[in-house]
Amino acid sequence: MAVAISNRSRRAMGAALLQAFLVVSSVVIIFPFFWMISTSLKSNLEIFRPSPTLFPERLFTENYAKLLADSSFLRFYWNSIVVSVVGTALSTFSSMIAGFVFAKFRFPAKNFLFFLVLATLMVPFQCYMIPLYSMSVGLKLIDTYTGLIFPIVISSFGIFFIRQNMQSIPDSLIEAAKIDGASIWRIFFTIMMPLSMSSGVALAIFQFMTAWGDFIWPLIVTNSQKMFVLELGLTRFRGEFVDDYGLMMTGSTLGIVPVLIVFLFFRRYIIEGVTLSGMKA
């Protein structure tokens, strides 16, 4: 009897220890995120106090008002939205339709073409950005939306991912629609797209988050502040207002709002997407 009790209490203590460890780790891990938001809502006076406050004593929203009225900040934001949304739409659509072709058709050189698509999967962007840059200079794409977007309109990973998913859609569905006289385009839009909606959404989320956080290409292909995306604009902020941490944290908080919204709404999708794709971080 005594043994059973001590076993049980040992287990209870183990569970308590585990909870304690997880609480402490979670607090440490979430702290920078919390600190970003907290700092963004403090006045500079409060920020630089020798013994800092965890929560703002008085909500200071002036930095938000300042940034949301700042035309260059809004311009960065708009540029990021344009690039991420258009880039995501184009790469998701091109992946879906090319994935469909590679999943459901037979044609000459199919394996070779698919090999070409996959061959670039593991090549780091940094290994072909220099020619992309000289191409952009030659075609006068520096400081344009086209220049910012064109490298991301296709995705090897996307084609591969969609092809895998569309292969599991039974051919009989396509055959039936064919007999009913549907055109291939119609079959793509009314059967294949809806049936692979969940993988399409997962891919789009992934592409959007990648595009929103992309840094090195915007850094290279834009020179004028007017065309900076948000990530780039924020680093210039840091250059201009070295010590204005309140303003910097406000810009940072506003900058992660879109990815946070996507995360909150599609948490399951994203976590499952990570486990499915695994290939890209």
Partner 1 sequence: MNSGRGKRLFADREEASFILAVLVPTMAAFLVIRLAPIAETFVGSFFNWSLVDGFGRFVGVRNYVRLFADKTFYSSFVNTINFTVFTTLFSVVLGLLFACLLNRKPRFSTLYETIIFVPVVLTFVPVCLVWMWLLDWESGFVNVALRALGLPRVSWLATPTMSMVSVIIVSVWKVIGYNMIIFSVGLKAIPREYYEASAIDGSSRWTVFRRVTLPLLKPITLFVTVMAVINNLKVFTQVYVMTMGKQGGGAQVDVLVSDIYTRSFVYYRMGSASAEAMVLLVVVLAMTALQFRLAREDE
What are the percentages of helix, strand and coil residues in the chain, rounded to 5? 75, 0, 25
Among 130, 176, 189, 197, binds partner 1 (CB under 8 A): 130
Enumerate residues 155-174 that contact partner 1 by CB under 8 A.
156, 159, 167-168, 170-171, 174
Applying CB under 8 A, which part among 1-9, 55-63, 70-78, 114-122 lies near partner 1?
114-122
Neighbours of 86 (CB within 10 A): 17
146 binds partner 1 (CB under 8 A): no
Cα–Cα distance, 175 to 182 (Å, whole number): 10
Does the protein bind partner 1 through residue 141 (CB under 8 A)? no
Considering the complex, what minimum distance in angstroms separates the CB of residue 110 from partner 1? 9
Select the residue interacting with partner 1 from 43, 72, 94, 144 (CB under 8 A): 94
Site for partner 1 in 49-88 (CB under 8 A): 50-52
> Would you count residue 147 as binding partner 1 (CB under 8 A)?
no
CB 36 within 8 A of CB 252: yes
**Phi, psi at 261, each rounded to 5°:** -60, -45
The owner of tokens 């797209």 is 193
Can residue 194 be called a binding residue for partner 1 (CB under 8 A)? no
Instruction: From 2-10, 56-64, 151-159, 190-198, give the range in contact with partner 1 by CB under 8 A.
Output: 151-159
Residue 81 CB, nearest approach to partner 1 (Å)? 14
Subset of 8-37 contacting partner 1 (CB under 8 A): 15, 18-19, 21-22, 25-26, 29-30, 32-33, 35-36
In the bound state with partner 1, the residue whose beta carbon lies nearer, of 15 and 59, is 15
Interface residue with partner 1 among 98, 141, 162, 192 (CB under 8 A) is 98
Instruction: Please enumerate, as own/partner, the contacts of 261-268 that have beta carbons within 8 Å and a separation of 24 or more.
Output: 262/205, 262/208, 262/209, 266/201, 266/205
For residues 227 and 18, give the distance between their C-alpha atoms in angstroms, rounded to a whole number.
49
Residue from 3, 5, 126, 180 binding partner 1 (CB under 8 A):
126
Handedness of CA 137, 143, 147, 152 (dihedral sign): positive
Q: Which amino acid is at 266?
A: F
Site for partner 1 in 211-250 (CB under 8 A): 212-213, 215-216, 219-220, 230-232, 234-239, 242, 245, 248-249
The single residue among 41, 42, 47, 148 that binds partner 1, judged by CB under 8 A, is 47
C-alpha closest to that of 198 among 259, 266, 260, 152: 266
Q: Which of 117, 141, 202, 227 binds partner 1 (CB under 8 A)?
A: 117
**C-beta closer to partner 1: residue 83 or 248:** 248
Q: Name the residue among 42, 152, 33 with its Cα closest to residue 89.
A: 152
Of the residues 3, 127, 194, 224, which one makes contact with partner 1 according to CB under 8 A: 127
Cα of 97 vs its chain's centroid, Å? 22
192 and 256 Cβ atoms separated by less than 8 Å: no
